Structure 1
Amino acid sequence: MTDSRERRITALTEAAKAKSENKTRDADQAIRRLVKRGEPITFQAVQREASVSHAFLYNHPELRKRIEHLRGARRKATTDQRADTDDTLVITLTRQLAELKKQHRRQLQALRDALERAHGENLDLRRELARRGIQPSPNVASIATTS
């Protein structure tokens, strides 16, 4: 009976070892797929992708170290990328604001020029009316009297 028991123990040990190797391979492939898709590498994401338990990942030193390393690298890259994005956004908005200010100044100057021409034309018309001896209607306000 000892031989039979030894064979069963050996068979169970080999089956457990094969199962562990398969799960390790599945977890490794899951990590590769997550990296390839650009998804965050976390214990939960690997666990879902590989259909393995959290305990398996935490108790497997190589997988745990790899996941923690990739998770940390992703956080650092995200933080650096956010800082670059913020700087770029500030620069872009500053340029847009400067351009809008220039455009506003040009429009304001064009309006001032048009108003000056209108005042000149109004003055010419009032002089022409005075030369002809026509009094302006009392319902018409003069800029000279309202200012």
Structure 2
Amino acid sequence: MTDARTKRTQTLTAAAKAKSQAKTHAAEQAIRRLIKRGEAITFQAVQREGRVSHAFLYNHPDLRGRIERLRSQARPIPAQAPPADPESTLVLALTSQITRLKKQHRQEVQALREALEQAHGENLDLRRELDRRGLSGQVQAS
């Protein structure tokens, strides 16, 4: 009986360790993506990008320290001198436009996800109400 319990404990411990490693990897990848996009490194941004919890980030000393360091290093980017040639101006304008459109796209996708989630919830509520009233079979037959 003790061997079975020990084996279950070892299995659960290994699963918890694997889950923690996966979350750590997800958070590290999120930090890299945020840096690559030039976005601010904050706990909330890493949480959102890596799909990990605030608690996980705060309770993981290495990740917490890294996020705090990167957050404190963030400085406003000084305005650049205008480029000398028109091609550089075009590249900067298009890069800025792409960045703005990507941000707008992310916001729109998030809004759509939230609307879809709400619609699913309302649909579930309506189905439950139909079941409660005993009308679900009548609606499907129509």
Give the TM-score normalised by the residue count of structure 2. 0.54
Structure 1 counterpart of 2:63: 63
Structure 1 counterpart of 2:37: 37
Please list the CA deviations of residues 54-110 of structure 1 after superposition, one character each: whole Å capped at 9, or x if unmatched.
000000000000000111111x3x1x62xx67xx8xxxxxxxxxxxxxxxxxxxxxx
Runs of 4+ aligned structure 1 residues displaced above 3 Å come to: none
Q: Partners of 1:48 and 1:3 in 2: how far apart?
A: 41
Q: In structure 2, give the amino acid aligned to 1:16.
A: A
Q: Partners of 2:6 and 2:40 in 1: how far apart?
A: 45
- Aligned residue for 2:39, secondary structure, equals coil
Greater Rg over alpha carbons, structure? 1
Q: Partners of 2:57 and 2:71 in 1: how far apart?
A: 14
Structure 1 counterpart of 2:13: 13
Structure 2 counterpart of 1:49: 49
Residue correspondence of structure 1 range 108-147 to structure 2 within 5 A: none
Task: Note the residue ranges of structure 2 that are not aligned, 5 or more in a row.
Answer: 82-142
- Provide the aligned C-alpha RMSD in A: 1.5
- Aligned residue for 2:72, secondary structure, equals helix
| Cα displacement (A) at 1:40 | 0.6
| Cα displacement (A) at 1:27 | 0.2
Aligned residues: 81
1:27 counterpart = 2:55? no
Q: In structure 2, give the amino acid aligned to 1:53.
A: S
Give the TM-score normalised by the residue count of structure 1. 0.53
Q: Sequence identity of aligned pairs in percent?
A: 64
Task: Note the residue ranges of structure 1 that are not aligned, 5 or more in a row.
Answer: 89-147
Q: In structure 1, give the amino acid aligned to 2:12.
A: L
